[in-house]
Amino acid sequence: MIRETLVPLAAGTIFGAGLTIGGMTDPARVRGFLDLFGAWDPTLAFVMGGAVLVMAAAWVIQRKMIRPAFSDTFALPDRNDLTPRLIGGSALFGIGWGIAGLCPGPGFAALAIAPASAAIFVAAMLAGMLAVRLM
């Protein structure tokens, strides 16, 4: 029960709270970060820098662990996971993120703050995910 439900719920809640506190649920802030030659907003750089620091600490801790706390084995990516499909999907993600100013995590978190505009993004995102599954 705890491994399958509460741990992901807690992680998602912390992630959503961090995105909201960091201002990443505001599409204008994200587009401001991408506007290098206009009214550049460095907020996202600080959010990403904080995430890199947390992840660096996690990698150090993971190397010292025998097994994960809430799973039987580690599921870590390697270079064999870099496929053309992943690279193409990453490019589409970046293009969509730049146009909409939202990505999936902030999009869902924004449903609590600005439901009308976030719902349009989330509906379009889910439709795209369904279209990929049907192809």
Taking only the tens place, the pLDDT of each residue in 37-46 is 888 989 888 8
Specify whether the CB–CB gap between 100 and 121 falls below 8 A. Answer: yes
* Residues in the chain, total: 135
For the chain, what are the domain ranges? 2-134
pLDDT value for 56? 95
Q: What are the distances in angstroms from CA 52 to CA 60, 66, 123?
A: 12, 23, 30
pLDDT value for 23? 82
Task: Spell out the residues 6+ positions from residue 33 whose beta carbon is closer than 8 angstroms to its own.
Answer: 40, 41, 42, 43, 44, 45
Ranges of the chain with pLDDT below 70: 1
pTM (2 d.p.): 0.67
Measured between alpha carbons, how far is 20 from 38 in angstroms, rounded to an integer?
Answer: 24
Spell out a b/e string for 71-99, using b for 16 or more CB atoms within 10 Å of the CB, else e. Answer: eeeeeeeeeeeeeeeeeeeeeeeeebbee
What single letter denotes the amino acid at residue 115?
P
pLDDT value for 21? 85
Measured between alpha carbons, how far is 113 from 121 in angstroms, rounded to an integer?
Answer: 13
Residue 17 token pair = 């709270």
Q: What is the dihedral of CA 118, 120, 121, 123, to 10 degrees?
A: 120
